[in-house]
A and B are shown apart, each in its own frame.
Chain A
């Protein structure tokens, strides 16, 4: 189960509303490499993992990603607070989002494509899933890089830099986890069986 803590992982305090920036940052809430996808990916993959380290790591990182989702939502919420009709009219980048969602938080990519489970995978295969997770962390990292390229708001960049660094740490941990899993698999050929599905290891041909 999950228990809510009424605090953010990292402080979010955006002094200046900026709907144009909000329209870009929403991608890390509901875009293809955003935090909603990250948490759903890891929290779904963990069930098929046969090894304790992988169960624990996917649970812990998946839970942290839920907190990152909340942080990204807080950034978008604060960037769009107290807007006037005129500010929305003068922000063509934000207007399409506004017409559907006003200033509510909705999981969508910056392109307007709504969040889709099609942007994540859960294969039931230890190596395939953990390798996907390595790629996912890199894709999230580069999305934060691109937000840093586009944003000159120091309050926003504080938060984005933190989230970006978390992707790098998670990449390291998934890589280590893959190594730990591999050590428990068949040393002659790690692809000989899928330990999550093939309960009996086939005898190799001599």
Chain B
């Protein structure tokens, strides 16, 4: 079963898919050893080349991978995100995090590593652009302003953060 960016489930991968699909094993399934030993837990391995969401959809769904998206009560609409420079940065950051965790168990997946490199570069540029406009996200960046702006509102847990920026 595949799921497109709008959360619609269908029997075939959508045209926006970046993945190479194996006809014998749909994206929501993984691989098990041909002769698994007894008395130890097994989770099937996610296959390389899995279908991926675009970054905003990934943040909204909580995963980059449609094959791992198993929502409560099958509510596939994802979460509503505010439209803001912060949310765009969060989406890029999320793809880097998700791919990094994937690479921890798939370190030899060169396609995923290339995507990781691309998104890490995009996230770095987006963060620098955000910080130059709205103030520091890291304390190191606080040193590049004309005065010490680390203490400025909004702090992340305040209601206003996504409203102001």
Contact = CB atoms under 8 A, between A and B. Distances in A.
A190 B40 contact: yes
A144 B75 CA distance: 14
Contacts of B75: 161
B59 A172 contact: no
Interface string B121-165: 000000000000000111110000000001000011101011100
Nearest to B67: A172
A191 B138 CA distance: 45
A52 B149 CA distance: 39
Interface in B12-54: 33, 37, 39-46
B104 A8 contact: no
Q: Chain A at the B interface: mostly helix, strand, loop or mixed?
A: helix
A173 B46 CA distance: 9
Across the A-B interface, give the 4 residue pairs with the lowest CB-CB distance, nearest first: A175-B43, A165-B62, A74-B157, A158-B79
A36 to B, nearest CB: 15
B94 to A, nearest CB: 7
Interface in A103-140: 127, 131, 134
Contacts of B155: 6
Interface of B: 33, 37, 39-46, 59, 61-63, 65, 68-73, 75, 78-82, 84, 86-87, 89-90, 93-94, 97-98, 100-102, 104-107, 136-140, 150, 155-157, 159, 161-163
A65 to B, nearest CB: 12
B85 to A, nearest CB: 11
A6 B107 CA distance: 29
Given A11-B81, A78-B157, A173 B105 contact: yes
B138 A168 contact: no
17 contacts: A5-B137, A13-B159, A14-B159, A53-B104, A60-B104, A131-B41, A148-B72, A157-B79, A158-B79, A165-B61, A165-B63, A166-B63, A168-B63, A172-B68, A175-B44, A177-B104, A177-B105
Given A7-B89, A56-B104, A60-B104, A166 B62 contact: yes
